[in-house]
Structure 1
Amino acid sequence: MSIKYQACEPFRAYNRIEGRPREEELDDSLAAKVHDPLWMLARQFQFGELKGEDAGSAIFAKVAINTVRMTSFTGANGLKTPYSEAIPLETRVERIIPDIDLKMAVRLGKKFLQVLDEVGGNAPTSQGYTTGMYKNQFLEKYPFVLPEIEDGETAQETTVKARSLSLQQASSFLRAMAGRAVNGRGLWLELDRDFSKINNFVLAGSQTPSPDKFILSKHKTIAQDAAKKWIDYVVNELNLPENSQDDSWLNNRLEYTFKTTIDEGNGTQTELKADEYFQGHLDWYSFDVAKEKEEGSSSIDETIRKREVLTVIPSEASFAGMPNSRWWEMEDGSIDLGNLKASDTDIAKILVTQYALQYSNDWLSIPYDIPTGTFAEVEGILVRDTFGQNYFVDAAHKNGESWNEWNMYSLTVDKGEFEAPAFDKRILLPAAAVKTLESEAIEEVKFIRDEMANMVWGIESRIPDSLGGGMDGYEAASNLNSEFERLIKEEEVADEIVLPEINLNAIDSRATTYKPQLKYQLGNSVSENWIPFIAVHQKGSNREIHFQRASMPRILEIFEPHAIRPRTQLLRDGINEDDSQKTPFFINEEEIPRSGVKLTGTYQRTRWYNGKIVSWYGRRKRTGRGEGSSGLRFDLVLDNK
């Protein structure tokens, strides 16, 4: 018995056409010999390659570019100053006056003695200056002294000294430097950037040397020149602002704010503002264009505004791992574009992959050097191809003025809340550092909302250790409490113990074993590195509030109750060195959301394009980790254990 099967056409699938050499050598395979040109033309026709209109290659291009540079800078104090690129704009915005630590004080004191000896050594021999002539006097005037707590001091005076003693490493450093180095911090605070104040140490004609006046009158000029050079050295070394009001940091907003101005050369000025800069890296997206245009110069300064026409041969834009336009060329295998994994929400990764795999060989690049601090705009590009045809390429955003048109790197123009958004189509290249080295956090404050206590807390998770670094805030609070416990134990030790007379027959003198089961406690406490902020009404408003810095009480047996003060430079704004408050400290309510805020203060270092090393102290704001609870409660009924 035979069975007849119905024949059917087998399913064929062709994934790719490739050559499979059968020889050991690949010369013939890589030669890509064409045996049937008609077949190749037919395949090109099938794939639509013969319908392409961009068959010509670009061989010539002309580009018209307009550039205009920044002319002025305005910080948070509203004072407009000429724009300068001596330091990065990022440094000029972020820098604040740091607290001079002990190690820096030693270096500054040593530098002053060196400068004084250099200036004195260059002076005429008739003035009689010798090296190290005033070293001992300055050692005595500005010493490193370990504080000692004495009887009769107030609670605040004792607290200031106890804070220094609780920093064990700093205390050891003070003992080591005592009598060996000049305290440059004290000299810096004494001069206060005014070199003429060195005259306070100069003797009059009939005076005798004393600890306060010891510089001979004939050395007055030497001391003034040395003080001036030393002040310039400190300001340039630390990149200090002109004064404490010259920085761009706003305490009530916990961020930087500044403005720069561009003179357009047509009678107007464009103002670029950065009202909310806190990211730690300054770039074009930190700026917005102000709504109003101020009056400016009508003449064109070639150093500020320039129009240039370039004639170049465009080159193909390329990147590492880019697919080659000729299939027989070997590609760079350092980047595997085919191995990119993107989900449906990875729009940016999908766009980059599509550009790299499909349209990369259609892009050409024309290099053009733009100075930093420049607003640049390409008017248009004239391209000539191999067939001699000329094409004028407009900017993509010039096809329309709709807000949803395609554009990139555009700055938002402030037009009001109820107006359609607008964009400035020029490209901004701010004078920002490309890469910076950042130290570990010197100070770190975490702001959280405590709904149970109905307040905001500023938690000092890191505080300065007085040696140029930071230490854990909880550890510092514990060390300070240990220092107070030591003082209490010293007070408890009496010189002579006198036992009271006891009447054993009295009922009150008899021992009893009764103990109540419950006890009442007025309130508990929190760690001393938790600084409270309470809600208060803004001045002139019955609805809007902001947070005001408050203080927890420190209750000790040997002192009257007094306020616990913060230890970070950020939260101590408005507090004197003796812990007395001269001005209150407020934070806007909207600056501390439910997620919280984390502020860090660090030293940063970079190399500017002229080779200069630039260092500064600045702050950065990040998002917190949500709400928290301090555990603060009042009117407690507890078990009497």
Structure 2
Amino acid sequence: MTSITSWTRLEPRARTGDLRPSLEGQVHDPAWMLARQWQLGEFLGDDAGTPVWVRVRGHADRITRYRPGRPAGAGTDYDGATPLEALVEAEPGGPRATSADLRSGAEAGQHLLRLLRSAGLPADAVAEAVGMLLDDFPLGLTGEEGGVDAATLRFLSVLRGRVPDGHALAFSLRASAPTPEEPGWGLPPAAYSVLRSWLAWYDGRHLTAAEGDPAWDARRLEHRFSVGLSEGGTETTLTAPAYQGGTLDWTDFTADGDTGLESPADRESLLSTTFPAPVRFPGMPARRYWEFEDARVDLGGVEAAPSDLARMLVAEFATVYGNDWYLVPLDVPVGSLTTLTSVVVGDTFSSELGGPTLLPAPGAGAGDAHWSVHRLSTGDGGRRTGLFVPPVTVGGLEGEPVEEVLLARDEGANQAWAVERRVPTPVGGSLDRTRTAPTPRPAPAVAGGTAVYRLMSDVPPHWFPLLPREPRPGAYVLRLGHLDGPDGAPLRPLGRLLAPGLPNAYDLFSEEVPREGVTLTRAHQYARTRDGRGVLWTSRRARPGRGESSSGLRFDGLED
């Protein structure tokens, strides 16, 4: 039989719209004061104990595997020493990636020469080793970087033939490292230890990802990666499906089941007994009504519209439920998923009521017991318990962008464009392509006073069209195209953002270029790990654009 439940809720109703007189709490005489205290219930005794101690038990499972990109393969081991966002955002290294960076290659070569000269080797042996390095690893361009500016030519005129290319030497050492037993390079035996120490310095100087296995998804303009851990023999995978770069936090992850990461177990048991403290925050009212408040806090001035749910929740928590919450600190290891197994509370009435109280586990019951924060979502739309603290940096430094590309819509030309605003130079600088004057096309020889027909107007050389394509019905992508220059040769991008090294043409999903546009940047990042080591890497980030752009493209025009 259907039952009907009803209740009556008593709420205060002000006679006027101004709550300030009631909140002032004016005091008159002692008898009036006692009456007001009785009226507000301050003389009423409740059989409610105050928590005295709290014992928390749980375990923390550290992440032990890392896999960039889409789910495929078992990934690599991860020990937590390198910050996770540095490992994710770092660009792949390789000969093609660093061949255009002459300055860092020259600095690495100079450091090797200093190590050789200070190693105590004979002068003739040092001279022989330096000559061999200069001949086999010359500093220069490979011809794949486009036009060479005047600063690069001056740089090469000073250092060419005097310093070896450190990048080329490092890649050769990784491919086949020489040893004194197999002196394939003809160096003195003592020089091989110098090479090994120099290679260790080179690997720790600039963090790079494995070549051909990046976390950056060029088609989605975001990072995707997974980390794995083992919870008592059960594998758990935490996936960041769309990390935009910048600040990495637990909100970027979702919890999945076993996805083949094969993560070894690394569990730490947690046990903490401490004293709880009442939850307080600036602006919160005093615990007792007749206690002097902070004059800067005006609860009567809180204004909230019917749709301001967050503001009303904060005000209700501060005025009604603020003295019911307590804070229990618990130190958890960084880079782990922490799960609580029991929370025991001892209060002032524990001895009379039969002992401490075992609280229900978060999410184990209904109502308030089901509520908790910092819960990861799962692939099937559910939620799982546990607090994940990713191993990230705090307060890192970001340099000026060395490369910047704007992806924008052009409604006038009914076209999307990739505008290469800034590109890196071989000597470590940055070239502003927006200040480069375009080369005008030669005017055709016509009789005076005759109009010239133009199929299309000129577009700046750093604007590249994004042509729509439909690889399958209902799915649209934007493919990076090119225009021809005045000499008829195709204009190609000079940076790395528009040349991601994909096996096929660069296709970008159409929904990734909204009407406001997207700004892509490459910049150097520097941070320190928890043990004080410095980490340097180059990251890519996607930020909102500045609205629509206009290329000035026109078709079927006449010129005098």
Whether contact under 8 Å (1:321, 1:331) holds in the other structure is: no
- Tell me if 1:94 matches 2:56: no
Write out per-residue CA displacement over residues 313-350 of structure 1, whole angstroms, 9 at most, x where no aligned residue: 223334456555468988888x8576987653654455
C-alpha spacing 1:92/1:18, structure 2 compared with 1 (3 Å): same
C-alpha spacing 1:338/1:175, structure 2 compared with 1 (3 Å): farther
How far 1:447 moved relative to its partner? 1.0
Residue matched to 2:9: none
Residue matched to 1:3: none
Residue matched to 1:105: 105
C-alpha spacing 1:129/1:41, structure 2 compared with 1 (3 Å): farther
Whether contact under 8 Å (1:566, 1:572) holds in the other structure is: yes
C-alpha spacing 1:542/1:337, structure 2 compared with 1 (3 Å): same
Residues of 2 paired with 1:139 and 1:623: CA distance?
46
Write out per-residue CA displacement over residues 518-555 of structure 1, whole angstroms, 9 at most, x where no aligned residue: 321122221111122212332xx354332222111112
C-alpha spacing 1:613/1:319, structure 2 compared with 1 (3 Å): farther
What letter matches 1:196 in structure 2? A
**3-state secondary structure, aligned to 1:113:** helix
**3-state secondary structure, aligned to 1:574:** coil
**3-state secondary structure, aligned to 1:562:** coil
Residue matched to 1:521: 454
Residues of 2 paired with 1:473 and 1:258: CA distance?
33
- Tell me if 1:260 matches 2:241: no
Residue matched to 2:483: 552
**3-state secondary structure, aligned to 1:367:** coil
Whether contact under 8 Å (2:223, 2:245) holds in the other structure is: no
**3-state secondary structure, aligned to 2:195:** helix
C-alpha spacing 1:49/1:280, structure 2 compared with 1 (3 Å): same
Residues of 2 paired with 1:515 and 1:385: CA distance?
100
- Tell me if 1:60 matches 2:44: no
- Tell me if 1:81 matches 2:76: yes
Whether contact under 8 Å (2:65, 2:261) holds in the other structure is: no
**3-state secondary structure, aligned to 1:228:** helix
Whether contact under 8 Å (2:417, 2:465) holds in the other structure is: yes
Residue matched to 2:177: 196
How far 1:245 moved relative to its partner? 1.6
Residue matched to 1:150: none
Whether contact under 8 Å (2:85, 2:392) holds in the other structure is: yes
Equivalent residue runs for 1:576-615 within 5 Å: 583-615=504-536
- Tell me if 1:285 matches 2:251: yes
How far 1:401 moved relative to its partner? 9.0
Residue matched to 2:417: 457
Of all paired residues, the percent bearing the same amino acid is 29
C-alpha spacing 1:138/1:295, structure 2 compared with 1 (3 Å): closer
Of 172-181 and 423-432, more deviation after overlay is shown by 172-181
What letter matches 2:78 in structure 1? Y
Residue matched to 2:430: 470
**3-state secondary structure, aligned to 1:555:** coil
Write out per-residue CA displacement over residues 457-478 of structure 1, whole angstroms, 9 at most, x where no aligned residue: 1111221133434332212x43
What letter matches 1:114 in structure 2? R
**3-state secondary structure, aligned to 1:105:** helix
Select the structure of larger CA radius of gyration. 1
Residue matched to 1:408: 373
Residue matched to 2:493: 566
Equivalent residue runs for 1:74-473 within 5 Å: 74-76=67-69, 78-79=72-73, 80-97=75-92, 99-100=97-98, 101-118=101-118, 120-121=119-120, 130-139=125-134, 142-143=137-138, 163-165=147-149, 168-188=150-170, 191=172, 193-196=174-177, 217=186, 219=188, 221-241=189-209, 243-265=210-232, 267-290=233-256, 304-319=266-281, 323-325=285-287, 344=305, 347-352=309-314, 354-356=316-318, 359-388=321-350, 389=353, 390-395=356-361, 397-400=363-366, 406-415=371-380, 421-473=381-433
What letter matches 2:423 in structure 1? I
Of 439-448 and 52-61, more deviation after overlay is shown by 52-61
Residues of 1 paired with 2:431 and 2:315: CA distance?
46
Whether contact under 8 Å (1:411, 1:425) holds in the other structure is: yes
Whether contact under 8 Å (2:248, 2:392) holds in the other structure is: yes
What letter matches 1:528 in structure 2? P
Whether contact under 8 Å (2:362, 2:385) holds in the other structure is: no
What letter matches 2:495 in structure 1? T
Whether contact under 8 Å (1:116, 1:222) holds in the other structure is: no
Residues of 2 paired with 1:440 and 1:552: CA distance?
29
Cα RMSD over matched residues? 3.9
Equivalent residue runs for 1:491-510 within 5 Å: none
How far 1:293 moved relative to its partner? 6.8
Write out per-residue CA displacement over residues 89-110 of structure 1, whole angstroms, 9 at most, x where no aligned residue: 1111111136543331221111
Match of 1:629 among 547, 550, 557: 550
How far 1:143 moved relative to its partner? 5.0
What letter matches 1:95 in structure 2? A
C-alpha spacing 1:184/1:279, structure 2 compared with 1 (3 Å): closer
C-alpha spacing 1:286/1:160, structure 2 compared with 1 (3 Å): closer
How many residue pairs align between the two structures? Answer: 524
How far 1:414 moved relative to its partner? 1.0
Residue matched to 1:530: 463
C-alpha spacing 1:291/1:130, structure 2 compared with 1 (3 Å): closer
How far 1:235 moved relative to its partner? 2.0
C-alpha spacing 1:568/1:295, structure 2 compared with 1 (3 Å): closer
Whether contact under 8 Å (1:146, 1:175) holds in the other structure is: no
Residues of 1 paired with 2:394 and 2:45: CA distance?
42
Whether contact under 8 Å (1:337, 1:353) holds in the other structure is: no
Residues of 2 paired with 1:63 and 1:50: CA distance?
34
- Tell me if 1:46 matches 2:54: no
Write out per-residue CA displacement over residues 471-505 of structure 1, whole angstroms, 9 at most, x where no aligned residue: 32212x43xx57x99xx9xxxxxxxxxxxxxxxxx
Whether contact under 8 Å (2:92, 2:212) holds in the other structure is: no
Residues of 2 paired with 1:354 and 1:467: CA distance?
60
How far 1:597 moved relative to its partner? 1.7
Residues of 2 paired with 1:381 and 1:392: CA distance?
6
**Structure 1, gaps ≥5 residues long:** 1-12, 21-33, 148-156, 204-214, 416-420, 489-511, 576-581
How far 1:85 moved relative to its partner? 0.9
Residues of 2 paired with 1:240 and 1:339: CA distance?
56
Whether contact under 8 Å (1:268, 1:296) holds in the other structure is: no
**Structure 2, gaps ≥5 residues long:** 1-20
Tell me the TM-score normalised to structure 1 length. Answer: 0.71
Tell me the TM-score normalised to structure 2 length. Answer: 0.81
Write out per-residue CA displacement over residues 182-201 of structure 1, whole angstroms, 9 at most, x where no aligned residue: 34344446x273253799x9
Residues of 2 paired with 1:108 and 1:598: CA distance?
32
